[in-house]
């Protein structure tokens, strides 16, 4: 289960499609050529996202994890 405190490196390891999802939201990650360190929440807040948007990211990423064929 993914939550907002997951480390970006761990997230990408368990859900490689997260790279594309985060890039579409404006959050660069490992494969984007600009590695970031820290949690999903920290990365989102650095880009100006609030709590509601972060919770949406968590929901979306968990849905992707549970149903990778969507």
Domain limits of the chain? 8-66
Query: Read out DSSP for 1-66?
Result: ---TT-BHHHHHHH-TTHHHHHHHTT---GGGTS---SBHHHHHHHTT--HHHHHHHHHHHHHHHH
pLDDT 10s digits, 38-49: 899 999 999 999
- What is the model's pLDDT at position 54? 98
Q: Which pTM was predicted?
A: 0.85
Residues of the chain with pLDDT under 50: none
pLDDT of residue 31: 53
């Amino acid at each position: 289960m993914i939550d907002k405190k997951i480390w970006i490196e761990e997230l990408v390891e368990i859900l490689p499609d997260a790279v594309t999802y985060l890039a579409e939201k404006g959050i660069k990650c490992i494969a984007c050529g600009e590695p970031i360190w820290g949690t999903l929440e920290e990365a989102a807040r650095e880009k100006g996202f609030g709590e509601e948007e972060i919770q949406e990211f968590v929901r979306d990423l968990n849905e992707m994890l549970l149903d990778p064929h969507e």
